[in-house]
Amino acid sequence: MDNTPLSVLYVDDETSLLDIGKIFLERFKTIRVETAPSAHDALENLTTTSYDAIISDYQMPGMDGIELLKEVRIRYGDIPFILFTGRGREEVVIQAINHGADFYL
């Protein structure tokens, strides 16, 4: 059995949430989390590092989570992608699913 931790990229423009999310997820010793404060930074990270999954906020300045999801699907294929938002709106859920999000919170 492989004991290598899962590598997760967590994207959110709210840095306090990045810190809390990283601490929470890394409690499970089987997950290693890298963070990015913007979708643009996430795309830059993806050029040099491969991840087992991406967790992204929806509402971010510059490029939102749906736009990030689209770019990830075009450039990197089927990396598992979880999109979340504090404001659940039906049209966002539909867009997320239509563009290949694996899970929406």
Which portions of the chain are predicted below pLDDT 70? 1, 88
Q: What is the pLDDT of residues 27-50, one digit of tens each?
A: 988 999 999 999 999 999 999 999
Q: Could you tell me if 55 and 61 are in contact, meaning their C-beta atoms sit under 8 angstroms apart?
A: no
pTM of the model: 0.92
Rounded to 5°, the CA angle 69-72-75 comes to 150
Q: Which CATH number applies to 6-104? A: 3.40.50.2300
Phi and psi at residue 12, to the nearest 5°: -165, 140
Classified as helix, coil or strand, 85 is coil
**Pairing state between β 81-84 and 53-57:** parallel
Q: Could you tell me if 64 and 58 are in contact, meaning their C-beta atoms sit under 8 angstroms apart?
A: yes
